[in-house]
């Protein structure tokens, strides 16, 4: 079996970064993509494309042939959907089908991309991998879906000897956020002056290329069954917006809004979205989540994997430059 790595989700933000990192490290790369997925993020890359769906065991089994390693990066990353259960089904069923195919194909090692969404944030302090959510404590369909999928992968590791290491990226930023992600949307809105105020919250920002590097450190050095946070720097939303304003040559927003009055706006935005099908920028779940400072510690990954993250402002700079070059800011 060759050193071929199969990567799911390579059309997306993190998956494309993992594919590029794999090529740079000398791996042969096969990517799984839906027939309808955009190939813009892998254009010009020396990769083999397998067409299929992560929820379909047959197409996953076919894609897995000849692969020594699997990076399951694909996920339905939406904070809102007309049918929230669709997000849970996509991520849970996709993880189960993909891991089952990996077992059948005899894949040597799996890196499963979970998320800090499956972890319970603290009260302003950075939490680690031991701060685990329950289905009752989690907020929103996406976070629930990642929690359930992670638990299923953990079950398969324990009961079916799945040779998987789990990684949990925090909030990646950088180039090729093509969709863009919810955080990418904040960068675009702030850079174009459409985010004049903010709520008091915080997040952990990390360059997407550092997250990609962390995947390979997990492959090479991670312990089967362990979970590693791949994060960067804890930053308040106010500071993030000020940094974006500086890049864009704009004045930083200074108005801090209370959450309560924003809920009617969020409900109205969701009502409009149910008609248009376009994901709203402001949602009730996002407001509920914003009560927490979503700060995370990568100490375990640093200690066991040799993981390191560059200053978060480099990720913001790269994201701003890419969005500008690709017409998102005009």
CB contact at 8 A, 127 and 297: yes
Q: Which residue has the higher pLDDT, 62 or 301?
A: 301
d(CA 327, CA 3): 37
Which 3 state secondary structure label does DSSP give 32?
Answer: strand
d(CA 295, CA 235): 8
Interval 149-198: pLDDT, tens: 999 999 999 999 999 999 999 999 999 999 999 999 999 999 999 999 99
How sure is the predictor about 1, in pLDDT bands with cuts at 50, 70 and 90? very low
Find the helix or strand (DSSP H, E) in which 327 lies: none
At residue 81, does pLDDT exceed 80? Answer: no
Helices (H), 173-207: 182-191
Average pLDDT, stretch 95-109? 94
Average pLDDT, stretch 245-253? 96
How sure is the predictor about 124, in pLDDT bands with cuts at 50, 70 and 90? confident
- Cβ contacts of 192 within 8 Å, gap of 6 or more: 248, 329
Interval 8-61: pLDDT, tens: 999 999 999 999 999 999 999 999 998 888 899 999 999 999 998 888 888 888
Helices (H), the chain: 13-24, 57-64, 84-105, 141-160, 182-191, 208-221, 237-248, 262-276, 284-289, 299-305, 312-325
CATH superfamily of 4-174+206-232+296-311: NAD(P)-binding Rossmann-like Domain (3.40.50.720)
Summary mean pLDDT of the chain: 92
């Amino acid at each position: 079996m060759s050193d071929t790595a199969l990567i799911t989700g390579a059309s997306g933000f993190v998956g494309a970064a993992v594919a590029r990192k794999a090529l740079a490290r000398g791996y042969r790369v096969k990517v799984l993509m839906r027939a309808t997925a955009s190939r813009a993020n892998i254009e010009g890359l020396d990769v083999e494309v397998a067409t299929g769906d992560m929820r379909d065991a047959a197409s996953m089994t076919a894609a897995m042939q000849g692969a020594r390693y699997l990076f399951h990066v694909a996920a339905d990353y939406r904070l809102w959907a007309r049918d929230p259960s669709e997000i849970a089904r996509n991520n849970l069923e996709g993880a189960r089908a993909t891991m089952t195919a990996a077992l059948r194909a005899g894949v040597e090692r799996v890196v499963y991309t979970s998320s800090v969404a499956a972890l319970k944030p603290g009260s302003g302090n950075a939490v680690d991998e031991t701060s685990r959510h329950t289905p009752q404590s989690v907020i929103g369909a996406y976070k629930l879906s990642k929690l359930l999928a992670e638990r299923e992968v953990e079950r398969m590791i324990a009961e079916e000897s799945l040779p998987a290491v789990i990684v949990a990226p925090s909030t990646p930023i950088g180039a090729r956020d093509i969709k863009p992600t919810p955080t990418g949307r904040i960068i675009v809105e702030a850079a174009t002056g459409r985010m004049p105020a903010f709520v008091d919250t915080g997040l952990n920002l990390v360059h997407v290329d550092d997250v990609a590097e962390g995947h390979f450190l997990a492959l090479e050095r991670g312990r089967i069954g362990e979970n590693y946070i791949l994060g960067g720097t804890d930053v308040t939303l106010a500071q993030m917006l000020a940094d974006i304003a500086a890049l864009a040559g704009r004045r930083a927003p200074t108005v801090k809004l209370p959450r309560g009055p924003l809920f009617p706006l969020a409900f109205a935005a969701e009502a409009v979205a149910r008609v248009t099908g376009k994901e709203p920028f402001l949602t009730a779940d996002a407001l509920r989540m914003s009560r927490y400072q979503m700060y995370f510690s990568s100490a375990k990954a640093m200690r066991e994997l040799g993981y390191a993250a560059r200053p978060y402002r480099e990720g913001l700079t790269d994201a701003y430059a890419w969005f500008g070059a690709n017409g998102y800011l005009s």
